[in-house]
């Protein structure tokens, strides 16, 4: 059944949200462009971005962009995703939270998917005590996956096996993307400076990219 977008950010807030996402992307990609000697505290990118994203969400609610039913639906699904997340820890790489997040974003649209990813990971961290410098990375990685799932083509055309195949392919790509982003958060600190896979500040971009992806696929 085709469902219209439950959440639609206003053009102004969508622009700000795009800027926030770019700021968060800088927090992931800095190792490829940084040339200083001391590693930066990149978490500041994410806490600023999360603060802005929360303010935007409150703004959408106060401006009636999110009605009571939409807020209730978002809350219920966020609670379910948050509850599913601990079940995937160490379970042979199976993460049931992505199943619900991707399908919800596909049905209810990209803005809903972004909010669901952001809120559910934050709630999960509160429930499991998973608060730490890694949380900002996890929140925005999940939010982006929800956003991309909602932007998949053919919501009004694809049905049956074709749509299932599309969602399966996206799930594979999204899981790899999430793994890459999570490795980026700690790779600069993980190995020290004395291995062939270590981050080298000031090295050519191609060299650090090669070192990172070798590290990613070997681990």
Query: Under 8 Å CB-to-CB from 180, ≥6 apart: which residues?
Result: 216
pLDDT number for residue 12: 72
Write out the two tokens for 135: 């949380």
Residue ranges in the chain modelled with pLDDT below 70: 1-9, 13, 36-46, 49-50, 54, 57-66, 88-94
pTM > 0.95: yes or no:
no
Long-range contacts of 65-71 (CB under 8 A, 24+ apart): 65/7, 65/8, 65/9, 65/10, 66/7, 70/6, 70/7, 70/112
pLDDT digits (tens, 9 = 90+) for 78-107: 999 999 888 766 555 567 888 999 999 999
CB atoms within 10 A of CB 46: 24
Tell the residue number behind the tokens 């929800």, with chain if given.
146
What domains does the chain contain, in order, with CATH numbers?
A: 11-218 (1.10.1760)
pLDDT number for residue 57: 66
């Amino acid at each position: 059944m085709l469902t219209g977008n439950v959440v639609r950010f206003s053009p102004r807030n969508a622009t700000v949200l795009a800027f926030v996402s770019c700021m968060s992307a800088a927090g992931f990609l800095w190792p490829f462009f940084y040339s200083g000697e001391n590693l930066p505290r990149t978490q500041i990118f994410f806490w600023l971005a999360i603060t802005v994203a929360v303010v935007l969400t409150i703004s959408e609610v106060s401006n009636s962009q999110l009605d009571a039913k939409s807020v209730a639906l978002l809350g219920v699904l966020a609670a379910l995703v948050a509850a599913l997340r601990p079940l995937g820890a160490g379970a042979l790489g199976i993460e049931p939270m992505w199943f619900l997040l991707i399908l919800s974003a596909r049905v209810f649209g990209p803005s809903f998917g972004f909010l669901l990813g952001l809120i559910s990971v934050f709630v999960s961290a509160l429930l499991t005590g998973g608060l730490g410098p890694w949380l900002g990375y996890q929140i925005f990685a999940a939010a982006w996956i929800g956003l991309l799932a909602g932007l998949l083509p053919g919501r009004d055309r694809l049905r049956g096996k074709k749509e299932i195949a599309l969602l399966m392919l996206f799930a594979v790509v999204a899981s790899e993307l999430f793994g890459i982003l999570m490795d980026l958060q700690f790779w600069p600190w993980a190995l020290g400076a004395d291995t062939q896979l270590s981050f080298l500040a000031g090295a050519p971009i191609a060299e650090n990219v090669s070192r990172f992806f070798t590290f990613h696929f070997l681990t």
